[in-house]
């Protein structure tokens, strides 16, 4: 149990670990789905190819889309791509990095499905059973069957219980021939995917490491900024609701007092703390304006230095001047480079 807890904590450590765990679970789920899937070839000349290729290609496409749906960054990518320019520019390199990162993770489960399907060989056997070379594997000069009848007989190769063309070609020979081709394609596909993954992992830092680090940093920044914004909005909503409820009950208590119902009234201890968390946003319209402003013109990624003294007071709260004010008049000029 402790090991599962450690693994779960590792998945929750950051966004990439969480998504890697989700992709691993989807890859295992794809193998379990294929093993539990009841493969039934129609054994008809015009339907075998569609059924075999459909089982080979349609579930990977669904798993690919599902990998995008389960990825939390897809909404963040769409929001960053569609938002107005505002006070912060949009970097296409960051958007490309986010999309490529999601696409690479979403491709894991489809690649596992295609690999397992090709190595099993049932789909290729069903799809291409009518293309078995009779000249080399069977009796191509069978005088009693026309070309259409030969295609119907060959289409029944995956269905051993109804196959009646042993004089034309042995069922075991055709199945073994197609399965060998399918397994060869499967191992080639696995080798191709492994080689591509190796090249991406090993050669990418050699060419654009600085650009890769910048894109990765700002991608993480956008993710963290969104989480902090959601947490801040949730905290503000909680404080706003608490103050609204407190004001409602205070109004009700005043009405009861006015109606000569003397009730014990005790001021809540956290009323001031909840009011401070509102940060001056105390009505519905102002909050909507703040949310629209955040979407339309996010603040620029530039941290301003602390404000200097203005007039006879200090802009910073709780920051007294370093030197006591002298009785004589002095004129000071401040120069700051921003």
What does the pLDDT look like over 168-224, one tens digit per residue?
Answer: 888 899 999 999 999 999 999 999 999 998 888 787 777 777 888 888 898 888 888
Where do runs of H (alpha helix) occur along the chain? 2-11, 15-36, 48-70, 73-82, 92-106, 108-120, 122-127, 134-137, 147-154, 171-258, 271-276, 284-296
Are both 158 and 13 inside the same structural domain?
Answer: yes
253 with 263: CB under 8 angstroms?
yes
* Interior angle at CA 164, CA 162 and CA 166, nearest 5: 130
Does residue 320 lie within any of the structural domains?
Answer: no
Are both 201 and 229 inside the same structural domain?
Answer: no
Range of the domain at 158: 1-207
Better-scored residue on pLDDT, 312 or 137 = 137
Are both 34 and 180 inside the same structural domain?
Answer: yes
Are both 106 and 247 inside the same structural domain?
Answer: no
Binned at pLDDT 50, 70 and 90, residue 262 comes out as low
Are both 231 and 107 inside the same structural domain?
Answer: no
Are both 126 and 247 inside the same structural domain?
Answer: no
Are both 12 and 135 inside the same structural domain?
Answer: yes
- Give Cα 47 to chain centroid, integer Å: 36
Specify the DSSP class assigned to residue 310: B
Question: What are the backbone angles phi and psi of residue 66, rounded to the nearest 5°?
Answer: -65, -35
Better-scored residue on pLDDT, 55 or 18 = 55
Of 226, 259, 292, the position where a domain reaches its end is: 259
Each residue of 106-115: pLDDT tens digit? 888 899 999 9
Could you report how far apart the first and last alpha carbons of the chain are, in Å? 55
Does residue 151 lie within any of the structural domains?
Answer: yes
Domain count of the fold of the chain: 2
Distance CA 95, CA 99 (A): 6
Are both 84 and 124 inside the same structural domain?
Answer: yes
* % of residues, the chain, pLDDT over 90: 22
Distances (CA, A) of 44 to 52, 124, 128, 329: 12, 15, 11, 102
Are both 73 and 132 inside the same structural domain?
Answer: yes
CB contact burial 249-268 (16+ within 10 A = b; e otherwise): eeeeeeeeeeeeeeeeeeee
Are both 232 and 197 inside the same structural domain?
Answer: no
Each residue of 39-96: pLDDT tens digit? 889 999 889 999 999 999 999 999 999 888 887 778 888 888 888 887 888 888 888 8
């Amino acid at each position: 149990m402790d090991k599962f807890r450690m693994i779960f904590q590792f998945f929750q450590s950051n966004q990439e670990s969480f998504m890697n765990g989700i992709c691993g679970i989807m890859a295992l789920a794809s193998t379990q789905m294929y093993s539990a899937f009841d493969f039934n070839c129609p054994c008809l000349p015009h339907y075998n190819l569609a059924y075999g290729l459909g089982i080979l290609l349609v579930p990977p496409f669904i798993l690919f889309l599902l990998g995008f749906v389960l990825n939390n960054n897809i909404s963040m990518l769409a929001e960053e791509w569609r938002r107005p320019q505002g006070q912060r520019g949009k970097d296409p390199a960051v958007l490309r990095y986010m999309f490529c990162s999601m696409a690479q993770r979403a491709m894991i489960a489809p690649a596992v499905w295609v690999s397992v399907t090709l190595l099993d060989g049932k789909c290729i056997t069903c799809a291409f059973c009518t293309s078995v070379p009779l000249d080399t594997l069977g009796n191509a000069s069978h005088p009693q069957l026309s070309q259409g009848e030969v295609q119907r007989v060959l289409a029944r190769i995956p269905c051993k219980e109804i196959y009646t063309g042993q004089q034309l070609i042995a069922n075991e020979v055709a199945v073994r021939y197609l399965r060998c081709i399918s397994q060869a394609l499967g191992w080639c596909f696995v080798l191709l995917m492994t080689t591509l993954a190796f090249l991406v992992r090993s050669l990418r830092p050699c060419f654009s490491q600085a650009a890769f680090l910048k894109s990765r940093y700002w991608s993480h920044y956008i993710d963290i900024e969104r989480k902090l914004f959601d947490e801040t909005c949730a905290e503000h909503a909680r404080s706003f609701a608490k103050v609204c409820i407190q004001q409602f009950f205070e109004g009700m208590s005043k009405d009861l007092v006015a109606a000569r119902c003397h009730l014990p009234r005790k001021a809540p201890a956290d009323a001031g703390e909840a009011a401070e968390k509102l940060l001056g946003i105390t009505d519905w319209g102002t909050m909507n304006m703040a949310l629209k402003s955040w979407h339309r013109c996010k603040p620029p990624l530039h941290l301003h230095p602390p404000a200097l003294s203005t007039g006879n007071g200090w802009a910073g709260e709780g920051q007294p001047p370093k030197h006591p004010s002298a009785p004589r008049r002095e004129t000071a000029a401040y120069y700051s480079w921003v």
